[in-house]
Structures are given as C-alpha cells and as structure tokens.
Structure 1
Amino acid sequence: MREFYHYLQILKKRKENSGVIATVVKVEGSAYRHEGAKMLFFEDGTQYGLISGGCLEEDLSFHSEEVLHSCEPKIVTYDLRVEDDLGWGLGAGCNGKVTILMEPIRWNNLLATVLEELEQGHTVVSIRKLSNEEDRFQAFYSSNGKWLGNSLQRESVSLKATVLDFISSEQVLMEQNKIDSVSHFLFERLESKEKLYIFGAGPDVEPLVKRAAEFDFCPIVIDPREDRCHSKYFSDAALLVCEHPETFIAKNQIEFDSYIVIITHSFTRDQQLLHHFIHHRPKYLGILGPKRRTERLLHPEKVPSWLHSPIGVDIYAEGADEISISILAQLIKVRNQKRNRKDRRTIQSTAV
C-alpha cells in the first residue's frame, strides 16, 4: 500500500515523536476500506488518514493512547453488522466486520532503509511474526532481493519461499499460520507512488499534473520547450525533462508498470510515441484525441483494445479541468483494479 510510503515520509519529518499505525488486517462483508488500509496516530493527538467514514476513528484514538503507553501491539475488532446499543453498526449500512492491528511506530534506521528502497521504485514486503512478546519480530524484504531488518529469519527457506510467492501475487495482505509450524505471520505489500509519464507540457496538462500528485502518482513531464516545461507551470511535478520524446525514450528505460499519457498536440510526435509504446506495453497507455485520429496515427496497425483512446472516463468533459478529472479517474481505476480481484482478499493458510 502507498499509504505506508506516505506515512514514512511523515515519520521522517517527526523523528522525535512516537506514533501508532493502525492497519486493517481483515474484512468480513463490506466496509469503508479494505485490507491494508492504514491510519497514523501521534502522541500529540494528530491523525493522518481514515479507516472508516468517521465511525471508528474516535475509538481508535483511545486505543492508540493505550498502545503508546504499553508499547505493545493490539488487535481491535469492530462488528458493523450489529445495530443495537452495544454494537458498532450505528446504522452506517457497512454490514461488515473489521479487524485492525495497532502497532507502536517511531522513526529509526530500519524505516529509513525501507523508505530508501521504496523511493528507488522497489516493492517491499513487510513480514510480521505475531507471536508472544519474546518471539515477536518485524522484517522487510525488498523486491531487489535484499533482506532488511531481522537477520535471524534470513536463512528460513520456507519463509523466503512464501515471501517470493507473495511478491509474485497481486495480494495486498496475507496471513500465514504455519511457516514454522507454530507462529502466526502477516505479510504486507508496500509500494511507492506509481510513475506517470506525461508527454506534453501544454496548459491543459497543468491541472492533470496537480491532481495526479494529489492522488499519489509521481508525475514526470517530458517536453522539449523550456518555456513550457518549467516549474512555474508544474510545481507539483516530480521531474521536468526538457527533451524531445524520442530522445527521452532512447536514453531511459520506462518500467513496464508505468502509466503513460500522451498529450503533445503534435501528430508526428504522437505517432512516434504510440508506435513505441504499442510494442513496449506499459501498465497504462492513453492518448488525447478522438479514436479516428488514433486510427490514423497507428495505420496500418489496428488500435489495440487495451489502449485508452479517447483517454479518460466518459463524463462528457469539457475544458482542461474536467478532462484532467476524467483522466485521473481512469488512472485510479486501473491502479485499483487488482484490489477488487478475489485473490486480493486476506488468505488464511495452514500450508507451509
């Protein structure tokens, strides 16, 4: 989840403050948020994020005080299906049961290493052993093959095999009860912001960059015009590259899980970019303009079904602001699709 990446950045800024991180570890039925959703509490009462629509946060803040004082993790369960005075239903209509793990957290060298791995674009798996106090531990494994943290578990063949299987899956969170025949393990996928490459720096790109940054994308703007590809127009861009698109592509390897948006307003440049990315498919590819134009750009090749043309969700958008909203909605939909697959639910496993 990208929330952890965001909270690491907050913890880094508040190095002297102790906090509590709450993670949804199990959902039965429907709920406001799914497994992996997080919230961060600090000892001064500051809160970041939401786990429910406001139904549970006040009670969670009381539990966070207890965790801060005890320095021990705690599991809290809310049954939102019960609507009597003793239950948590409150008429909210969620009809679900939510289990939340609350853990003390404070900035340290291990978290600094995890943040560094995430900033380099690696997926990191958090491995928690939820046993008795003496046997409890947390470690991290980076998708680049590095163990971070507790070294005692690095030689565990069954643990590493489970981690690798988890990375290759699309699950956000997974429970495993019998890796060592005794303990209860919790695996969680941690990710940084997805890279969004935007080819074109026209005025209509400005609201898209701003909104993409707000919704945890990492916008990179590529355009050869120095007067347009400038921070005065794109202060929220993670990177501004004043180069011709073909030069940028030749010099840089764009990751397969990247998002590509083409808004150059140049037929020739759009054509070059489309032909390249059709044969080097990213996670998302969208191009501004009607489908007839895209057909001309790709002729004699067919327009593939996975290409988003015209780009964006059809909300009859007019003007740069509305178009940026329709594009962002589509980007978010693609990003969240894997969360709604059946195998993204928490798995209770008894196999090694």
Structure 2
Amino acid sequence: MRELLSELRDWHTAGTPFALATVVAVRGSAPRGPGAAMAVHADGRVAGSVSGGCVESDVCEVAAEVLSTGVPRLRSYGISDDEAFGVGLTCGGTIDVLVQPCVSTADRHRLCELADLVAAGESVAVATVVAPAGAAGSRRLVLADRVSGSLGDEGLDAAVTDDARGLLAQGATAENRYGAHGERRMQDVTVFVQSFAPAPRMLVFGAIEHAAATARIGSFLGYRVTVCDARPAFATRQRFPTADEVVRAWPHAYLASTEVDARTVVCVLTHDPKFDVPLLVAALRTPAAYIGVMGSRRTHADRIARLREAGVDEEGLARLASPVGLDLGARTPEETAVSIAAEIVRHRWGGTGRPLSELTGAIHRTRRNGA
C-alpha cells in the first residue's frame, strides 16, 4: 500500500470518499502478498492492485457496495475446477481481501496520518480488525514510542500494540488472532498488522558506469541508495541522479560511520585492492544481509588471499557474493545491474536462480532474511 499513500492523501484533500481493498491473507500461490492494496474512488477511478488483474473487477463491485452501505466486507478469492471461468485466481491460490469504506473525515484522516509518517521515514505498523464483521475496519497506528487510534477494547489494544511492535522491528506483516479482550490462544478477533518500515539501504561503492546502473535498479527495487567513492571527479550528483545520496569519502571510513542493519545490501564495484580490502573487512563486521563484490575470478582469488592476510576467517569469506551477480551472460553495465539485482532477490527469498520452467513446486516463497 506504500505506493498508494500519496494519491490517497490527494483524494482526501479533495474531500471525496473512496474504498480501500487490502490483501490480508494468502494461502498457496498468489500474484501479490499480504498488504497489497487497491483504492476505488467514488467516481470509479482505481489505483493499485490486489491480484495483478485476476479479481480486480469483482473488488470494484464490492467497493461500490461498501461505499453505498458504509459496511466493510471481507471477500475470499480462490479457484476450483467448477469455477475456473468465474472470478478467481488462475494461479490456484486463495487470497482474503478486506474492503473498507473511507467515507468519514476520521477514516481519511487516519490514512493521511499514515501517509505523513511514512513520508517522514517513521517506522509505523497499521493494525486493522478483519473479523468479526461488526468490528472490521477498526484501525490503530503503532509506532515505537506512541500509538494512534483504537480497536475498540483496551486489552485488545495492548496485546496488538505489543505484537505490532515486534513485527515492526522485523519489518514483517502478519494476520494474528486474539480473544475479544486481547487474550492469547483465542480466535475471536482477527487483526491484520502491516509494517511500514523505512526503505532498506543499498550501499554502492565505486562510482563507475556499473554503479550508475546498479543505483538505478536499486531505486527501482525500493532501496534507499547511497553511492560512495573517494574520487571527487566520479562521485557527483550528475553521474548518479537517481541515488538518494552521493558521498565523497574513503569507502571503509564511510561504512564505519553510517547505519547498516540486517536489511542493508552492500555492492562493492571498485575491484581495486586499496579500496576493496579495508572496505570488505569493515563490511564483514556489520550485519548486512548481502555483500556483493565485482571482479574477475583472478581478481576474486587475489582478493580472498588479501582478506585472509587481513584476518578474515572462512565464515566471513563465505558471506561474500564474489564474483557478484547471477550467471545471465551479462555484458553491459545495465545487464550486469540486472544480474546483481537478480542475485539480491534470490538471496532475499531463497530462490534457486534456475529457470522456473525447470522446477516444480511453489513459485512464491516466504521471506528468508532481511535483504
């Protein structure tokens, strides 16, 4: 839903009602995961998607009903042999979609509050009651140090707030069940918690043409991209217009001074030992999810020897994706950036990197790590 927030704020400013449809649960294979959202304006305009086209027409009809009645609806979409030509998911999975009216000033204000928090880089979780039907749509915003809104019961608010902060720390989204007053191990109330953590970081070291392409694709993937190089002639805003930051500093010194967490990806594209070795020694001391290093196999072998001399152990060396990228036969900087991005995605979700046509089983995987 993150990508919709700016447009929803505009709709709110115009004072017109709309309905918000959110995927709150997925079973089996589905085109989009929990948290995917679609907004339907009162005049029929649509923003976003909940399935990539499979069920959007029906969701629009449900949205019109919800806008008319003011009552949220939970709709499940699946597929079976006898409904293969009806509304459903051709991929064979099932999704639950909560469609809520955003009619009142309070409804729209809560979304605008969320949009402002996300735009400011705040970590915020949104807890929404999915069931029972009478309470569906109640919403509470949970931040590390404060809350806004209520789910209708003090005990439920407290339990959901604790769980939402735990999910927020992981950048995770989940559907949880509670008793009516927040009791654990009961299933009277279903609450969907969606985390909006700040974008993960991509740190690109080495202001070369490959870095420009990698920065562009990093931004496309939703990373907050920083390009760092010690050479003033190379580390310029003109060369990296899509990067969030361009830093002129020795790479290892900058890395030691900046925030790196378990979602950060590091791409070392300098392939120069005087930069690479101290930088990689510093990078391996961080919890970075991915550390990719460019260079030929000869460069890689020399780099590994230098890192061993610098005291890096085998466990540390095993963390390096070196030479960086998947074997796509890439030649140009742009193709190489695709190769690097593909390896980051594979690392994040635990994919094989092989063609799907050669595999069987589930296509979509649960998150393996924070990359």
Q: TM-score normalized by structure 1?
A: 0.82
- CA contact 1:312–1:326 (8 Å) conserved in 2: yes
SS at match of 1:76: strand
Write out aligned runs for 1:15-54 (5 A). 15-16=13-14, 17-54=16-53
Of 5, 8, 14, 1:8 maps to 5
| Residue 186 (str. 1) matches residue 192 (str. 2) | yes
Q: Is the contact between residue 259 and residue 285 of structure 1 (CA under 8 Å) also seen in structure 2?
A: yes
1:261 correspondence with 2:267: yes
Q: SS of the counterpart of 2:195? A: strand
Q: Counterpart in 2 of 1:325?
A: 338
In structure 2, list runs of 5 or more residues that go unmatched: 352-363
Give a deviation string over 1:118-157, Cα, whole Å, max 9, x none.
4565542211234455786211212x33223339767754
What is the Cα deviation at residue 164 of structure 1?
Answer: 4.1
Q: Distance in 2 between matches of 1:224 and 1:21?
A: 47
* Aligned with 2:100 (options 103, 108, 121): 103
Given the superposition, is the C-alpha separation of residues 114 and 293 from structure 1 closer, same or farther in structure 2, using an over 3 Å criterion?
farther
Counterpart-to-counterpart distance in 1, 2:93 and 2:152 = 38
Does 308-317 or 297-306 show the bigger shift? Answer: 297-306
Structure 1 equivalent of residue 87 of structure 2 = 88
Structure 2 counterpart of 1:126: 126
1:213 aligns with 2:214: no
**Cα distance in 2 between the residues matched to 1:272 and 1:112:** 45
Does residue 147 of the first structure (1) align with residue 133 of the second (2)? no
Moved more, 190-199 or 32-41: 32-41
Task: Tell me the distance in 2 between the aligned counterparts of 1:265 and 1:136.
Answer: 53
What is the SS of the residue equivalent to 1:294? helix
Q: Equivalents in 2 of 1:119, 1:336: separation in Å?
A: 27
Which residue, out of 286, 291, 299, partners 2:308?
299
Deviation, 1:165, is: 4.5
| 1:82–1:88 Cα contact (<8 Å) kept | no
Q: How many residues align?
A: 338
Aligned to 1:137: 138
CA contact (8 A) 2:100 2:137 kept: no
Contact map agreement 1:158 1:179 (CA 8 A) in 2? no
Q: 1:253 to 1:230 in 2, by over 3 A?
A: same
1:223 is matched with which residue: 206, 225, 229?
Answer: 229
| 8 A contact 2:203–2:226 mirrored in 1 | yes
- Which residue is 1:233 aligned to? 239
The CA deviation string for residues 155-205 of structure 1, in whole angstroms up to 9 with x for no partner, is 754333333444466752213142515533222233332111111211121
Deviates more, 1:318-327 or 1:146-155: 146-155
Partner of 2:355: none
**Structure 2 CA distance for partners of 1:241 and 1:319, relative to 1, 3 Å:** same
2-structure distance, mates of 1:205, 1:343: 26
Contact 2:124 2:195 in 1 (8 A): yes
Determine the C-alpha separation between the residues in 1 that align with 2:288 and 2:204: 13
| CA distance, structure 1, for counterparts of residue 247 and residue 308 of structure 2 | 29
Q: Which residue matches 1:56?
A: 55
Letter in 2 for 1:25: V
Which deviates further from its counterpart, 282-291 or 147-156?
147-156
Distance 2:230 2:242 in 1: 19
User: How far does residue 278 in structure 1 lie from its aligned partner after superposition?
Assistant: 0.9
Where 1:207 maps in the other structure, the secondary structure is helix
RMSD between aligned alpha carbons? 3.3
Q: Distance in 2 between matches of 1:45 and 1:293?
A: 61
* SS of equivalent to 1:279: coil
Residue 290 of structure 2 corresponds to 284
Task: Say if 1:206 and 1:134 are closer, same or farther in 2 by CA, change over 3 A.
Answer: closer
SS of the residue 2:281 aligns to: helix
**CA contact under 8 A between 2:205 and 2:228: conserved in structure 1?**
yes
Where 2:252 maps in the other structure, the secondary structure is: helix
Secondary structure of 1:77 counterpart: strand
Aligned to 1:340: 365
2:206–2:269 Cα contact (<8 Å) kept: yes
Higher RCO structure, 1 or 2 (CA under 8 Å, sep 6+): 1
Corresponding residue SS for 1:212: helix
Change (3 A) 1:110 1:223: farther
SS at match of 2:179: coil
